[in-house]
Chains A and B, each alone.
Chain A
Amino acid sequence: MRLRSLLPSPTLLCPALACVLASGCYSGHVDADSDDEGVDSGESGDDGGDSGEPSDTFECDPAAVPTSLPLRRLSKVQYENTIRDLLRFALPSEGDGVADGLGTLLAAIPNDAIVAPPGQNHGGFARLDQDVHQEHINAAYDVGRAVGTALTEDPARLQQVVGACATDGDASNDAGCVDDFIRRFGERAMRRPVEDDEVAFFREVFDGEGVTQGMEPQAFADVIAVMLASPQLMYLIEHGEDPVEGQEGAYALGAYELASRLSYHLWQSMPDEELFAAARSGDLLTPEGYQAQVDRLFADARTRASMAEFYRQWLWLDDLPSMDALVGDPRFDAFAGDFAPGPETHEHMRDEVLAMLEYYTFDTPGSVSELMFSNQSFARAEDVAELYGVQPWSGGEPPQLPDAERVGLLTRAALTASGTANTRPIMKGVFIRTALLCQDIPPPPDNAAANPPAPAPNMSTREVVEQLTEQPDTSCMGCHGALINPLGFATENFDALGRFRDEQVLFDDDGQVTTSVPIDTRSVPQVTAGDHTPSAGPADLAQLIVDGGQFQACFARQYLRYTEGRPEDPVTDGCALQDLTTRLEAGAPMAEVLRAIALRPEFQQRQID
């Protein structure tokens, strides 16, 4: 097909960034506004100047009160985990089986959208989706009904869930039996003790306006259904207790509220018995008791899953396309050569990055430097290990990568592969600029792609991108030449399957080699505005990113977004952002940084107007 031979790099331009407005970007010289660091607008999610560069330093105002989300809804993951944990509590031996049977009902809960911070089209976190849809209500109702039925549908289960009193035929203990069940199960479902008026309410549900006969299973099922559809289960309801001194509108969380906030942040689920006990005893509200619970929860395997979600969404790993979609296309097959990507290859690539992050977060003390410079492979799957030229990792000390150029996060297959025969330097650049540096890229001008020049068929991917977006005196040049392309060019020594290369072989549509062209990874990435330090390739770029300070500040912003479920406000969140950034710049282990946010005072309070 002639069209494709005209365009040797079919995956070059990103959807929204074919060209970008020059006036808002670095223009190759120091811009006074661009260097204006540390200026916060005070508006949530919008603290960058025209340069697109946000602050990498934050000021802490102890009197500032961070905004709290109103009636925070459990995410889909949190809701599903909660239902599963409740079932395990009620039916220790069968809970997982019952939960597995809820598959289609749980699937009806809408997937949370990945919500990007204001002004951005890419990235974001599912926790920022706080919309409540009819489907949430319908599905939660159906789940509640189904769980109620499942827990009471035979005498053995009823006895296990409610107690022997439910089936002993002794009417004299029925009232106490029902009340005890309401208090015991209700404490878990509502994540706090059931108050007396609430016991009375659920007792009315049980009585069913007088139709209930004795210890009727359906009556218990109704109680369970109402509890599972209750606001206390579906939302994190925080009334707060004592006002926080010196912070108008802020209230300290109660023990149970704090237990829930902590467990949903680190575990994505309800508190366990030990955490409930700490809340019950009041120990959780002591500094020592709280620290102990934070440490305990963080060390639990469930925290690994939560942090994996954070990392996955922060690094856009769910956007990684399939690697085998074009198998059978002559050009792609020729490009892939001996390597045969399978339907799970992209998942294995993603898993490798997550394994690296997990390793440095939980298994060995690692800072952001380890993330950016690690030359070890964490590929457990054979296909990705083959791409790296190492043996699959099966635990212990990860194998060393043979390619000296494969340095750190930026060079992993998940961050370089595209699933086609060509890399996507523009998207790589956009990713680094927005996800790792938290810098805005101005929108492209009107009709940005109206008249692209035709690239020659013997051009490298880099040359094609330069031809299309870096023509002198065009509106495209400003942002592509300064903000976007140089970051993506730095890792062009890894091909579209993530393999190291020192030349790019070009193929025609029939899969025949047409030529090969040298790889050039040199660029001036301008990680910080006005910095014209050249970069020879991935290692230099990683060094500039680590040294620049923006990466650490950006990590703090991203983690705060994930924690709070909202965009950060550099003013009212300044204390937390400053704390995290300072730790990161000092080389603190990732575990310390991730744990630190839960120890912040802001985490233990809520703003209520």
Chain B
Amino acid sequence: MPRSMSRRQVLRGAAGFTLALPLLPSLLPRDAGAGGGPLGPRRRRFISLCTEHGGIWGDNMWPGDAMLSDDQTYAGHSIRRGDLVASEADGRTRLSQILSAPSTLFTPEILGKLNLIRGLDHTFYIAHHQGGHLGNYAQNDGNGTDGQELHASHRPTIDQLMAWSQEFYPDLATILERSLIMGNNVSFGWSSPATQSGTVQAMPAEWSSLALFNRIFVPEDDLVDPRPPVVDRVIDNYLSLRQSNRRLSSADRQRLDDHLERLDELQRRLEVSVSCGDVPVPRTDTYEIQGESSFFFDPEAQARYWQLFNDVIVAAMLCDTSRIAVMRVTNNFSSFPGDWHQDVAHQAHLPNGEAQALLAEGNQRFFENVFMDLVSKLDVPQGDGTTLLDDCLVAWSQESGNQTHESISTPVITAGSGGGNMRTGQYVDYRNLAKGAFGKWDESNETLYPGLTFNQWLGTALQTMGMSPKSYESGDYGGYGEHFVGEGREHMYAPGVLDAQGDWLPWLQA
């Protein structure tokens, strides 16, 4: 008689699930107290949404300056903040042209859980990049001398620091995937993550929402298999080669060590026991949507595509099979039939505003259909007076600031307080309005003002997630990310700005 495999023996999922959509309601509400609170330490979750280009004019991206009611001097210059106040009209809630959504989605409760962070700079010219969102600045297209110089400085991104940190994951009893990565070249980790050493390599992306689902929902299996675990013998097999006296190079042995470390992780995952109830298998896969020829010019299809990933992410976090997700969103949410990159993003500064209008329209659709969709799905009660969103830090970052190619004043929009660590409901503006970066250097009316550093934001995000600075800081400056001020930009950042990088960003610490 063939013997059924036990959970300990096989990782693959899906086959056991045959239920129907919807996916999320079967999980809601469940597991009262899962977020911690009086029942234990909070389980924090980190979700990063990274979009291409940026280049959105300030008036389109941000609320009016009147909202910035408070100010203080910090790091040598005046900074400003204010509580978020949205307008309501025609069934829509609005903070700005881009930050607007139907009021049924963009509720007052959600509004109070957002932060709008303006005035975060990469302190060098990086232009097109993928790794700048989460701290691996070396992952850039080399569009300028600064970008080329950074190519030698690969480092893990903050999501992977957390994924392998005991501070973020004090226990892994239910964790099937330490992180969920959707998008290429946005997340980077060590080849030996447990020892935080080796080479820095790009984490592989998952493009299928169904495959992602299968990785985080594994059929429960009560079978007790009397046979010893096969994985143990696989490990023995690798150890035998590693410890043999056969001729191997030192690099060969390092590769074997790295592989053994991964086998340890496999062994751990095979021990994970989760009970997610009757989780239905999604019947639509992102593959199917992306396979349509018109996908790249169909904003509604693009919204559905990312919403499928949102469903899986939220379900994983509700079921606590993962607490980290990173999405690199490369769609434009527009039906514009030309070359978005050249004809829109690279023309977005032209004063006639036509390209800017397209850019703003696409970003508004992203905010409404992806960001707010995710945030609202996360905002479900946990049974202890909090919602899952409260335990999250959801962060939307753009590739550039208000000028495509230029990462001065790169917008970051957050949701959730990271388990109460981050103060929310604010619009903060860290720009130094007394110091223009380059003057008026293009044809638009946008002026670039230097602010505080993106390294400081990344450090703040890590601390929000419970990471101690000593676990990620290195060198003479705080925060996270290569410390590098590009040539010709030294005048933009007073010593106080650089010295402050290890601090929480002002007003954000709860």
**A199 CB to nearest chain B CB (Å):** 13
Task: Judge whether A11 and B338 touch: CB under 8 Å.
Answer: yes
Task: Judge whether A446 and B145 touch: CB under 8 Å.
Answer: yes
In the complex, chain A residues whose CB is within 8 Å of the CB of B215: 108
Does A404 lie at the interface of the complex (its beta carbon under 8 Å from any beta carbon of B)?
A: no
Does B31 lie at the interface of the complex (its beta carbon under 8 Å from any beta carbon of A)?
A: no
Out of A141, A229, A608, name the residue touching B11 (CB < 8 Å): A141
Task: Judge whether B240 and A18 touch: CB under 8 Å.
Answer: no
Does A31 lie at the interface of the complex (its beta carbon under 8 Å from any beta carbon of B)?
A: no
In the complex, chain B residues whose CB is within 8 Å of the CB of A105: 12
**A536 CB to nearest chain B CB (Å):** 29
In the complex, chain A residues whose CB is within 8 Å of the CB of B259: 132, 137, 231
- Among B96-104, B241-249, B371-379, B410-418, which stretch is in contact with chain A? B241-249
Q: Hey, what's the 0/1 contact readout for B233-269 against A, CB within 8 Å counting as 1? A: 1101110110000111111101110110011011001
- Among A77-85, A204-212, A301-309, A385-393, which stretch is in contact with chain B? A204-212
Task: Judge whether B3 and A218 touch: CB under 8 Å.
Answer: yes
A449/B443 contact (C-beta < 8 A), A134-B265, A142-B12, A205-B233 known: no
Residues in B327-376 with C-beta less than 8 Å from chain A: 337-339, 341-343, 346-347, 349-350, 354-355, 358
Does B472 lie at the interface of the complex (its beta carbon under 8 Å from any beta carbon of A)?
A: no
Task: Judge whether A141 and B266 touch: CB under 8 Å.
Answer: yes
- Among A260-268, A325-333, A362-370, A394-402, which stretch is in contact with chain B? A325-333
Task: Judge whether A444 and B144 touch: CB under 8 Å.
Answer: yes
Does B227 lie at the interface of the complex (its beta carbon under 8 Å from any beta carbon of A)?
A: yes
In the complex, chain B residues whose CB is within 8 Å of the CB of A18: 342, 346
In the complex, chain A residues whose CB is within 8 Å of the CB of B269: 138
Out of A15, A145, A251, name the residue touching B230 (CB < 8 Å): A145
- Among A1-9, A374-382, A512-520, which stretch is in contact with chain B? A1-9
In the complex, chain B residues whose CB is within 8 Å of the CB of A531: none
A131/B201 contact (C-beta < 8 A), A153-B2, A343-B293 known: yes
Task: Judge whether B142 and A16 touch: CB under 8 Å.
Answer: yes
**A96 CB to nearest chain B CB (Å):** 21
In the complex, chain B residues whose CB is within 8 Å of the CB of A322: 293
Task: Judge whether A452 and B248 touch: CB under 8 Å.
Answer: no
**B473 CB to nearest chain A CB (Å):** 26
Out of B10, B127, B147, B346, name the residue touching A142 (CB < 8 Å): B10
Residues in A93-144 with C-beta less than 8 Å from chain B: 104-105, 107-108, 110-111, 113, 119, 121, 131-138, 141-142, 144
Residues in A127-171 with C-beta less than 8 Å from chain B: 131-138, 141-142, 144-146, 149, 152-154
Task: Judge whether A332 and B337 touch: CB under 8 Å.
Answer: yes
A239/B248 contact (C-beta < 8 A), A145-B5, A145-B10, A452-B347 known: yes
Task: Judge whether A10 and B441 touch: CB under 8 Å.
Answer: no
Cα–Cα distance between A131 and B342 once the two chains are bound (Å): 33
Task: Judge whether A448 and B293 touch: CB under 8 Å.
Answer: no
Does B421 lie at the interface of the complex (its beta carbon under 8 Å from any beta carbon of A)?
A: no
Cα–Cα distance between A322 and B145 once the two chains are bound (Å): 34
Does B404 lie at the interface of the complex (its beta carbon under 8 Å from any beta carbon of A)?
A: yes
Interface centre among A134, A218, A226 (most CB of B within 10 A): A134
Out of A70, A107, A209, A443, name the residue touching B249 (CB < 8 Å): A70
Cα–Cα distance between A608 and B248 once the two chains are bound (Å): 7
Task: Judge whether A10 and B11 touch: CB under 8 Å.
Answer: no
Does A324 lie at the interface of the complex (its beta carbon under 8 Å from any beta carbon of B)?
A: yes
Task: Judge whether B342 and A10 touch: CB under 8 Å.
Answer: yes
Task: Judge whether B404 and A443 touch: CB under 8 Å.
Answer: no
Cα–Cα distance between A329 and B443 once the two chains are bound (Å): 30
Task: Judge whether B3 and A450 touch: CB under 8 Å.
Answer: no
A16/B141 contact (C-beta < 8 A), A141-B11, A153-B2 known: yes
In the complex, chain A residues whose CB is within 8 Å of the CB of B142: 16, 119, 121, 443
**B36 CB to nearest chain A CB (Å):** 27
A15/B341 contact (C-beta < 8 A), A3-B347, A132-B191 known: yes
Does B26 lie at the interface of the complex (its beta carbon under 8 Å from any beta carbon of A)?
A: no
Does A13 lie at the interface of the complex (its beta carbon under 8 Å from any beta carbon of B)?
A: yes
Does A558 lie at the interface of the complex (its beta carbon under 8 Å from any beta carbon of B)?
A: no
Does B296 lie at the interface of the complex (its beta carbon under 8 Å from any beta carbon of A)?
A: yes
In the complex, chain B residues whose CB is within 8 Å of the CB of A608: 247-249, 252
Does B196 lie at the interface of the complex (its beta carbon under 8 Å from any beta carbon of A)?
A: no
Task: Judge whether B247 and A3 touch: CB under 8 Å.
Answer: no
In the complex, chain B residues whose CB is within 8 Å of the CB of A70: 249, 251-252, 254-255
**A203 CB to nearest chain B CB (Å):** 11
Does A217 lie at the interface of the complex (its beta carbon under 8 Å from any beta carbon of B)?
A: yes
A325/B293 contact (C-beta < 8 A), A10-B338, A239-B246 known: yes
In the complex, chain A residues whose CB is within 8 Å of the CB of B233: 204-205, 222, 226
Does B88 lie at the interface of the complex (its beta carbon under 8 Å from any beta carbon of A)?
A: no
Does A201 lie at the interface of the complex (its beta carbon under 8 Å from any beta carbon of B)?
A: yes
Does A91 lie at the interface of the complex (its beta carbon under 8 Å from any beta carbon of B)?
A: no
Q: Which residue of A lies closest to B146 (CB)?
A: A446
Task: Judge whether B128 and A15 touch: CB under 8 Å.
Answer: yes
Out of A7, A133, A153, A450, name the residue touching B204 (CB < 8 Å): A133
In the complex, chain A residues whose CB is within 8 Å of the CB of B354: 1-3, 6
Residues in B252-309 with C-beta less than 8 Å from chain A: 252, 254-256, 258-259, 262-263, 265-266, 269, 293-294, 296-297
Does A588 lie at the interface of the complex (its beta carbon under 8 Å from any beta carbon of B)?
A: no
Interface centre among B128, B144, B337 (most CB of A within 10 A): B337
In the complex, chain A residues whose CB is within 8 Å of the CB of B141: 15-16, 121
In the complex, chain A residues whose CB is within 8 Å of the CB of B78: none
**A66 CB to nearest chain B CB (Å):** 14
Q: Which residue of B lies closest to A227 (CB)?
A: B237
Task: Judge whether A4 and B343 touch: CB under 8 Å.
Answer: yes
Does B231 lie at the interface of the complex (its beta carbon under 8 Å from any beta carbon of A)?
A: yes
In the complex, chain B residues whose CB is within 8 Å of the CB of A281: none
In the complex, chain A residues whose CB is within 8 Å of the CB of B263: 137
Out of A3, A119, A217, name the residue touching B358 (CB < 8 Å): A3
Q: Which residue of B lies closest to A131 (CB)?
A: B201
In the complex, chain A residues whose CB is within 8 Å of the CB of B208: 107
Task: Judge whether A229 and B227 touch: CB under 8 Å.
Answer: no
Cα–Cα distance between A179 and B14 once the two chains are bound (Å): 36
A104/B293 contact (C-beta < 8 A), A332-B337, A609-B250 known: no
In the complex, chain B residues whose CB is within 8 Å of the CB of A27: none
Cα–Cα distance between A447 and B143 once the two chains are bound (Å): 9
Cα–Cα distance between A323 and B131 once the two chains are bound (Å): 31
Does B214 lie at the interface of the complex (its beta carbon under 8 Å from any beta carbon of A)?
A: yes
Task: Judge whether B143 and A324 touch: CB under 8 Å.
Answer: no
Q: Hey, what's the 0/1 contact readout for B94-114 against A, CB within 8 Å counting as 1? A: 000000000000000000000
In the complex, chain A residues whose CB is within 8 Å of the CB of B9: 145
> What is B's interface to A at a CB cutoff of 8 Å?
2-3, 5, 9-12, 14, 125, 127-128, 141-148, 184, 191, 201-204, 208, 211, 214-215, 226-228, 230-231, 233-234, 236-238, 240-241, 246-252, 254-256, 258-259, 262-263, 265-266, 269, 293-294, 296-297, 337-339, 341-343, 346-347, 349-350, 354-355, 358, 403-406, 441-443
Q: List 29 A-B contacts (CB under 8 A).
A: A10-B338, A10-B342, A13-B342, A13-B346, A15-B128, A18-B342, A108-B211, A131-B191, A133-B201, A142-B10, A145-B9, A201-B236, A205-B230, A205-B233, A230-B237, A230-B238, A231-B237, A232-B241, A235-B255, A237-B252, A326-B297, A326-B337, A443-B143, A443-B144, A443-B145, A446-B143, A448-B405, A451-B442, A608-B248
> What is A's interface to B at a CB cutoff of 8 Å?
1-4, 6-7, 10-13, 15-16, 18, 68, 70-71, 104-105, 107-108, 110-111, 113, 119, 121, 131-138, 141-142, 144-146, 149, 152-154, 201, 204-205, 208-209, 211-212, 217-219, 222, 225-226, 229-232, 235, 237, 239-240, 251, 322, 324-329, 331-332, 343, 420, 443-452, 454, 608-609
Apart from A111-B204, A153-B2: 10 A-B pairs, beta carbons within 8 A: A3-B343, A7-B338, A13-B342, A71-B252, A149-B2, A222-B227, A226-B230, A239-B248, A448-B405, A449-B346
Name the 10 nearest CB pairs between A and B, nearest first: A10-B338, A70-B251, A110-B204, A71-B255, A3-B354, A137-B262, A131-B201, A11-B339, A329-B337, A446-B144
